[in-house]
Amino acid sequence: MKPDLSSLWKHSRSVRWRLPFALLASSLVVGCGQPAPEASEPSAPVADPAATLDAELASANNDPDDAPARPVVESLVAIPQDVVSKTTAAVFELKLDAKREQNEQFRGKTLAMLDETQQLLFRDDGTNGDAVAGDLSFTASGTFDFVALQAEQQRIRDTQASSQEPLTTAVFEGRELVRTVPVTALSSSVFQVGQRVPIRPIGLATLVDPARSLIIRAPSVVNDPTRTWDPCTNVGNPTGKWTFNYLMTEMANQPFTGVAPTTFVREWVRQWEAPKTINTFVSPARPNIVPKLVTPWPKLTTGELNLARSPFKLIAIVNRLDLAGANPAYGTGRAGEGRFIFAVTEGTGTSCHTAPFLVILEYGVDKNDCLSIKSYAQQWQALSGLVLGSPAYNAALEALTEQFAKRDLSPRKPNRSSINQVRTNELWIGSPWELREFRLWNTTINPNSYAAPGPLLAHLNSHTVAQTPDRATKAAVFAPYVNGNVPAIVAVPPTYTVPLVWAASAFRGGRAIIPSPFGTPPFWSLPAASIPNRQARHVFSLNTCDGCHGDELATSFTHVNQNGVLSPFLSGPLSFPDRADGAPVRNFNEILARQTFLDQTANQSCLTLPFLSTSAAVH
């Protein structure tokens, strides 16, 4: 997520509302009105800021401009001007990291940061309390809740008292773990008039149980008989809130679209039955979809698919708060994404089993303000204190999933659904292993990213795969693109979007494939003579579908497989030499990153959010 500081940033070509709290370069702001329309969008005005936020999410299928870089914060302090309270007058000093090239564009500018109840105007222009213009040290005045900060220090003390090991917090850049730092509570003596009180984000990862708050795979949850249905045993509730039937029915939203859920699902499945041309690239037919999925799928008396007997079993429910608007390629949600992972089942009776055809439903979580997002994060963290799979736990989890899964939550997105995209990852109906992406469409969205001859209104349509060029472009286009976009690729987080077309050539692909066995070095690798900036090569490769699910991480196809087994990337620390060059050693701990981010978001002041580094990945 974080949450991402690209929220509310505006640049000359359009207005990009990412999250309701962030820094914005006010010197670049023409006003707080409506965004200039993209060239591919209708020119109808957006009525209000809330509409602008939803329009940004609804237009995620457009080929967006690269997101503007956000500043990287080095430190922030508040100096109380009176006895500390919940609304103490304070002077704030914000320092940007001078070592970060992306910060140069903010030198001498005026920045605005949105707190829970106020907008703070930070100046680096030598006026209104700012001592020196252009030194990347910004000054602002406002109020601050020092009582909440004191309570946070007590939380740190309490956690340390109950821990057998010294407290640390992890620091990530993108998906890589760069260091861990000791955590100590601020002394109570610092909370005095005129003292410099650090405002810093502390993520206590040990207070987040991944199995209960991040990637939930427990049988007592995914087999909950009141919320799920098992197509192998016919046990459960066919209309339960975590069933494929319920989720696709809500996504189709027949009362609004007029599209029956059975038609909605059948048209989605049909897209494997014939070749699809997407951005000039052909995704071949996978004709086995009919005999393996459609034919054995139980039917209604009308001959339509019986969604109440859908052959998809719930494998996991996933909290992706860390995707809170970070990636310009996806219109995620202002509180990241919530996901359901299903696996197809085949066979009958005791021979029935899950197969390697995974369907991932990825919803944007449409929260509008910092306090709402904090409350949502707190609800996820509270699951760590409940008995996994207990009635209380499952009820609390359902209350969370209903905040993104049910119909009509995002009125300005297609079908009024919060769904961002549906992705599939399979080696069941054909070879090689293939990943595809499907998105809803309405008439406000540029159709160029969809399969020819054009998308169907209110349906899931074949779409280009985010951040992933077609493999045919590697030799001619890949290196020039990376070399021409190094600053955006290596920014923290990256701000580039793989475009449909680059250098007059079709670029972004309609599918991602992963041949087996893996190649060495990774597919998105060229020698230093072709791509001198090796960090840019690595980041770009890792952010592709086939890099993330393939040889850039030395993993195998899925991060959660059809049996709920996690890949090494999601199982804990993972270190290995750079896959292309043999150096440097790449250090990952994806679960620790998500634990840290959830605790930070749930417990810190909104003023700490500029420090948070969310994932820029799409997976």
C-alpha R_g of the chain: 24
Write down the domain spans for the chain: 211-463, 471-593
Closest by Cα among 521, 520, 468 to 496:
468
Q: What is the pLDDT of residue 66?
A: 57
What the block records as the tokens of 208 is 């987040």
**Who's near 39: CB < 8 A, 6+ residues apart?**
none
Give the dihedral of Cα atoms 41, 47, 53, 57; nearest 10 deg: -30
Per-residue exposure over 43-71, b if at least 16 CB sit within 10 Å of its own CB, e if not = eeebeebeebbbbbbbbbbbbbbbbbbbb
pLDDT confidence of residue 68: 66
* Beta-sheet strands, E only, within 81-160: 88-96, 110-114, 119-123, 137-144
Quote the CA–CA distance of 217 and 195 in Å, as a whole number: 48
Q: How high is the pLDDT of residue 608?
A: 82
Contact 270, 440 (CB under 8 A): no
pLDDT at 334: 76
Divide the 619 residues of the chain into consecutive groups of 10 and give the mean pLDDT of each group: 30 26 32 26 32 37 56 93 97 94 92 84 95 97 96 96 92 91 96 96 95 98 98 97 98 98 98 97 97 98 98 98 64 79 96 98 89 94 98 98 97 95 97 96 91 96 96 93 95 90 96 78 90 96 92 86 96 94 95 95 85 68
- For residue 432, whether the previous peptide bond is cis, meaning omega lies within 30 degrees of 0, is yes
How big is the CA angle at 255 (ends 252 and 256), to the nearest 5 degrees? 75
Long-range contact pairs involving 575-581 (C-beta distance under 8 Å, separation at least 24)? 578/534, 578/538, 579/520, 579/521, 579/522, 579/525, 579/551, 579/552, 579/553, 579/554, 580/521, 580/522, 580/525, 580/534, 580/537, 580/538, 580/541, 581/521, 581/528, 581/534
**Nearest CA-CA partner of 511 in 288, 331, 278, 285:** 278
Q: Degrees (nearest 5) of the Cα angle 433, 437, 443? A: 160
Which pLDDT score, from 0 to 100, does residue 528 have? 95
Tokens of 407: 């119909």
Joined tokens for residue 287: 């004709």
Q: pLDDT at position 57, please? A: 35
| Residue found by looking up tokens 């209604």 in the block | 300
pLDDT at residue 614, as a whole number: 63
Q: Is the dihedral of CA 417, 420, 425, 431 positive or negative?
A: positive
CA angle 23-24-26, nearest 5°? 135
**C-beta separation of 364 from 331 below 8 A:** yes
CA separation for the pair 337, 28 (Å, rounded)? 29
Residue 219: strand, helix, or coil = helix
pLDDT recorded at residue 272: 98
Alpha helix ranges (H) inside 326-419: 370-382, 391-405
Let me know the angle formed at the C-alpha of 434 by 241 and 62, rounded to the nearest 5 degrees: 70
CA 346 – CA 350 distance, rounded (Å): 11
Residues belonging to the chain: 619
For residue 109, the model assigns a pLDDT of 95
How would DSSP label each residue in 459-519? Answer: S-EEEPPTT-B-GGGIIIIIHHHHHHTHHHHHSSS------SEETTEE-B-S-EEE-SSPP
